[in-house]
Chains A and B, each alone.
Chain A
């Protein structure tokens, strides 16, 4: 793990609403609306204004949330980071 460090915009720049287990998020800097599911909103929250690599993100998520199936989260976070970068919701610090 490790790898590049990513950062997300502060929470105020991406208002969202939870409905039916999804978060619908408006990203102010791009004007785009995204539909995301856990653990993406939580990932964005832990790296807002606080750059982190994948390992740090897993550690922060585990510290703040009850994470089921430790280990599986590493792969999930790595995959989501890639998608979030291409969606413009996280960028390299």
Chain B
């Protein structure tokens, strides 16, 4: 295609082609410092194309295409080109990833051990991972955790963090503006702004970690803590995985090993400060 970005995020290489220069320029700026795909061979290709040929110029509207396509996906405005590229990369992973068990979860690492956080959209798993990533933890990913069925290790997938609505202000103070993408207002998910993970998250993206704790965070409630039984964890993780069924028995074994190996807890939190202290307390109790 006319304009192209090549980016590697953890073990996954992407090629993003676009009919317009804007989305590729925005993507390259946001992913400044990221490596390119290994041996220059991308795992997935995303194509941002005009919905119809004339829509390249007239009220430009982007259709997300690539190796895997969702036929029902609505086109996005050109102003949201960066979002289209991000969605396209997510889509290729969600539909095409077969090597790893993909959990819709954020993850952070400390001392070689990973904390996984999963939950509904809006539960705060992304914001919480972003916050912890700025407070001494290594951010491994805010969207997908990649579980290797052969080893049980979680691999990092530190894509740009997708901050939505209030989370943008929570993160904006104290961080250099250069790490932020443009403000994308009026998207189907409200206002979105991407944040590039810190330098360490990028430099150490090839280091996997051993899962140690699983949390189901929920934002907007009085602080509370509840143990979650292993059977419930198993069911919730099958729902949080985009490729559990496709992986067949290796997915079952990966999830079985994960559920047997690590404790799980649901946490409710009213604000980010209490969430961070709750996480730190639970983490300290792991060794206690």
Contacts and interface: CB of A to CB of B under 8 A. Distances in A.
Interface residues of A, number: 12
Given A17-B256, A17-B260, A33-B238, A22 B231 contact: yes
Interface stretch (B30-38, B147-155, B244-252): B244-252
Contacts of A22: 231
Nearest to A24: B234
B255 to A, nearest CB: 9
Interface residues of B, number: 16
A19 interface: yes
B231 A19 contact: yes
A13 to B, nearest CB: 10
B231 A31 contact: no
Interface string B248-267: 11001100100110000000
A88 to B, nearest CB: 15
Nearest to B256: A17
Contacts of A64: none
B229 A20 contact: yes
B286 interface: no
Contacts of B238: 33
Contact of A19 (B229, B244, B248, B249): B229
Contacts, number: 33
A31 B245 contact: yes
Interface of A: 15, 17, 19-22, 24, 26, 28, 31, 33, 35
B231 A15 contact: no
Given A17-B256, A19-B259, A28 B235 contact: no
Contacts of B235: 35
Contacts of A35: 231, 234-235
A18 to B, nearest CB: 9
Contact of B252 (A15, A19, A21): A15
B214 to A, nearest CB: 14
A23 to B, nearest CB: 9
Contacts of B248: 31
Given A26-B252, A35-B235, A19 B230 contact: yes
Given A17-B260, A19-B259, A33 B230 contact: no
Q: Return the 4 tightest CB-CB contacts between A and B, nearest first.
A: A19-B230, A26-B252, A20-B231, A20-B229
A15 B259 CA distance: 15
Nearest to A26: B252
Given A19-B234, A33-B238, A24 B256 contact: yes
